[in-house]
Amino acid sequence: MAEKIRNFSIIAHIDHGKSTLADRLLERTGTIEQRKMKNQVLDRMDLERERGITIKMQPVRMSYRHQGETYEFNLIDTPGHIDFSYEVSRALQAVEGVILLIDATQGVQAQTLSVLSLARTFDLTIIPVLNKIDLPIARVEEVRTEVAKLLEVNPDTILAVSGKTGAGVDELLVEIVKRVPPPVDSVPNGSRALVFDFEYSTHRGVIVYVRVLDGILTAGNILHFVGSGEGCVVGEVGFFAPERTPATALKAGEIGYIVTGLKKPGLAHVGDTLTGREALPAVPGYEQPRPVVWASVYPESQDDFPVLKQALERLNLSDSAFTFEEESSGALGRGFRIGFLGMLHLEIITERLRREFGLTLIVATPTISYEVTNNITGETALIYSPTRFPEETKNYSIRELWVTVTLITPPEYLAAIMPLLYEHEAIIINTDNWSAGRTALTINMSLRELMRHFFDKLKSISSGFASLSYRIGEWQPAEVVRLDVLVNSEIVAAFSRVVARRQVEHEAKVAVEKLARLLPRQLIAVKIQAQALGRIISSETLSALRKDVTGYLYGGDITRKMKLREKQKRGKKKMQARGSVEIPDNVFLQMMRADSN
């Protein structure tokens, strides 16, 4: 019965203990036997366990007895890192309540505000919980007051638990029953379900994760995807406990999975609605995640290109948040231009390609998208590859995405943070002093500058105490130019970049010096140049290798040595006019690798 169902999610800043608390909930409800219990039960990937972070959300069903009644708890464990906030938005669409988890040693962090805003957008019941109260440095009462002020609630309603020891978890389970509302069957006749995630099985096809909104779904039902228009016959339904467990039916209000049997990619989409024969209207879903960071990825061996293509297609079935398209480089061959949600997303996807498919990859320096308008023709294009960016921007209007950043820091680090904000062209919109030890800054800055290692520098300057979250804002005019690197007067497309106009001279100098350091000397003199704004900005010349052509001679007339040297000189002159420079693959790899330059 729906009144005995509680659907909820755990949301928090990264590393505030979501997965550990989920372990205790599974343990106390008896969902997993004690002998099978391990840390981070719901984190399935090796990467998640190694890094101690959640990358993919994971649903699980628990059974809980309270005052003689049995309740069905459906928990969705969510990631905490900002790059995976799209995963959080998926989960929140499928639940009625959230546990807002705050580390009692750190207090409210930037991502706490971000996920709280999402929960309020969906009008969800919020249960504030302080975690890690067992630690000696826990500031329970101070953080409780801080959270009460943020949520505008009575401090006594804020729970305190330890995900590690289990203290306070039993009280939390009781409060989930009391505070999280049961689901409501919104349509009396008909069946309908919201797709909040999916995976692909080679043998069973697309398996969609759903929240059943109306009616009952069973094996043999004929369902239709409203978005794609595709139909399917349900092969199996079930729930997560935490492994996939077949069931006879999924009822309104429940969370589970449906085996569709569909084997064509692109038919299932997150946010789509599954309906029965009644053809009920689609549920307003959530927006398709929009890539903000792009990088070119090439296989080290061109023989691996088909493997890389197949690997990307398979990964895209479980993570639809990244996009990819083929591209070709004269130096590196065929590869893909891939769009990611952020730098960590890029790192995770490329690492999965290496681990799960055994690929050795060359990953270019990440870039962002620019909106480029030709002022003469009025045509506008979205450009995310430097080679497509106009060499001369005089007749073009260029815009880039800006972001609104929330930065929380102890006040003693503000003096060091201010120069960093100036360096990255950030504009401070608002400053809020929460308490004696907490200052929140609201900042506007370009996505380009945010991705230029801003977060790493912030962590270094603040000794790791500052935190930030951001949300994508509007398009704003951009002062950027294309920077090309030339080797013997020929542009090497793989080294082209889009940089800030005010930094172009510094970037040009760094690029030329780096390539001059990496490029092996040739039999001819090699001129390395950086070009932008229609002129050469930086230049260096690698001198030619010289062979001692008289080394084998001894004694004799000096004129013989002079003739040999003149012959070498003529040969060098001819080679200089006709010769070309071969750039080794390892030089491309080191130049294109994302680094502080």
**pLDDT score, position 92:** 82
Instruction: Enter the pTM of the model.
Output: 0.74
- Which of 212, 197, 224 lies closest to 289, judged by CA? 197
Domains in the chain: ranges and CATH:
2-179 (3.40.50.300), 192-275 (2.40.30.10), 293-360 (3.30.70.870), 370-477 (3.30.70.240), 481-592 (3.30.70.2570)
pLDDT at position 536 is 92
Who's near 297: CB < 8 A, 6+ residues apart? 308, 335, 336, 337, 338, 350, 353, 361, 362, 363, 364
Question: What's the CA gap between 315 and 362, in Å, rounded?
Answer: 18
Average pLDDT, the chain: 82
CA distances from 523 to 79, 378, 515, 543, 579 (A): 54, 49, 17, 9, 9
Token pair in block for residue 411: 């006040």
Cα separation, 108 vs 126, in Å, equals 15
Pick from 369, 72, 442: nearest CA to 240: 72
Q: Looking at residue 21, what DSSP letter applies?
A: H
Tell me what pLDDT residue 564 has: 65
Q: How far apart are the first and last CA of the chain?
A: 60
| Residue 447 and residue 341 in contact, taking contact as beta carbons nearer than 8 Å | no
Residues of the chain with pLDDT under 70: 1, 33-57, 79-87, 90, 185-188, 265-266, 278-279, 284-289, 318, 329-331, 435-436, 522-523, 545-558, 560-561, 564-565, 567-582, 585-586, 588-589, 592-597
- The whole-angstrom separation of Cα 266 and Cα 229 is 12
> Are the beta carbons of 405 and 113 closer than 8 angstroms?
no
Q: Which pLDDT score, from 0 to 100, does residue 597 have?
A: 39
Give the DSSP per-residue string, 521-573: P-SS-EEEEEEETTEEEEEEEEPPP---TTTT--SS-HHHHHHHHHHHHHHHH
